Amino acid sequence: MANPSKAQQEAALARLEKFSRFTDSSIGIPFTRFQIGAEAIIGLVPIVGDAAGLVLGSYVLVEAQRAGASKGVKLRMLRNMGIDFVGGLLPVVGDAFDAIYKANTRNT
């Protein structure tokens, strides 16, 4: 695979920032400064929602691969995805953890 150009990398980063905002912080909680995203809402559905969040997070990893991210960066991204997935599986507190951890924003 050829190295992506600077313009391609910047376009990918812009897409990822938009995606991360949607999944991690697109919904403001009234009367607070806290924001959650679509992934936290999807994660409310037991197990299936957390699996869907993992699939959504995979998009960030695929874009990183296309942009030429190093192996170390991709491993940290996988770690963040794993922490987010396992944390989201915890009964009751998992949903709050999912809203706070924001793995897609970390990975972007």
Task: Note the pTM of the prediction, 2 decimals.
Answer: 0.86
Distance between CA atoms of 91 and 96, rounded to whole angstroms? 10
Which helix (H) or strand (E) is 92 found in, with range?
none
What's the pLDDT score for residue 5? 83
What's the pLDDT score for residue 80? 95
Among candidate residues 79, 83, 80, 106, the one with its CA nearest the CA of residue 94: 83
Bridge partners (DSSP) of residue 36 are 27
Among candidate residues 85, 99, 100, the one with its CA nearest the CA of residue 47: 85
What's the pLDDT score for residue 50? 87
- The mean pLDDT values, 10 residues at a time, for the chain of 108 residues are 77 92 93 92 87 92 90 96 90 86 92
Domain boundaries, the chain: 6-27+35-107
What's the pLDDT score for residue 31? 94
What's the pLDDT score for residue 2? 62
Among candidate residues 35, 85, 77, the one with its CA nearest the CA of residue 59: 77
What's the pLDDT score for residue 92? 78
